[in-house]
Amino acid sequence: MTSHTSQMLLALAAVATLAIPGSALAAGDVEAGKATYMTNCQSCHGDTGKGDGPVGAVLQPSPRDFSKGDFKLDTDSDGKSGTDADLVNVIKKGGLAYGGSPLMAAWPALSDGDVDNLVAFIRSLKQ
């Protein structure tokens, strides 16, 4: 393969990654995210992410149902709601910081890796 061909392939690969929607770019580990979810999120969002956890059952508004894959907040004002960046922002800063539910707590103590894993797991709950 010539140097020119190699450079073209690298450029095409870079362009292709820009065309993939944010949700497809989740680089986290689903299994590691599940462990974080079960520790921090399950009580409100439930085992399968339907918003039916034991604490979530008494909350108004009800916790988000992750099995629908429907996320309303556009936290980074890019015109697209529910991207991975939006989920990361809500996890780190809470729902109220972006006009969402004040009951969605902020989790600033989670590492970036934990949050990436959590986003990957949340994405895996969509049915």
Least confident of 4-13, 35-44, 73-82, 103-112: 4-13
What was the pLDDT predicted at 115?
Answer: 98
Is a pLDDT exceeding 70 seen at residue 113?
yes
- Residue 17: pLDDT band (50, 70, 90) is very low
Give phi and psi for 73, each to the nearest 5: -90, 135
Please state, as a whole number, how many other Cβ atoms lie within 10 Å of the Cβ of residue 68. Answer: 13
Q: Give the C-alpha separation, 116 to 30, whole Å.
A: 9
Q: What CATH number belongs to 27-124?
A: 1.10.760.10
**pLDDT tens readout for residues 18-39:** 333 444 445 899 999 999 999 9
What was the pLDDT predicted at 27?
Answer: 80
**pLDDT tens readout for residues 93-107:** 999 999 999 999 999
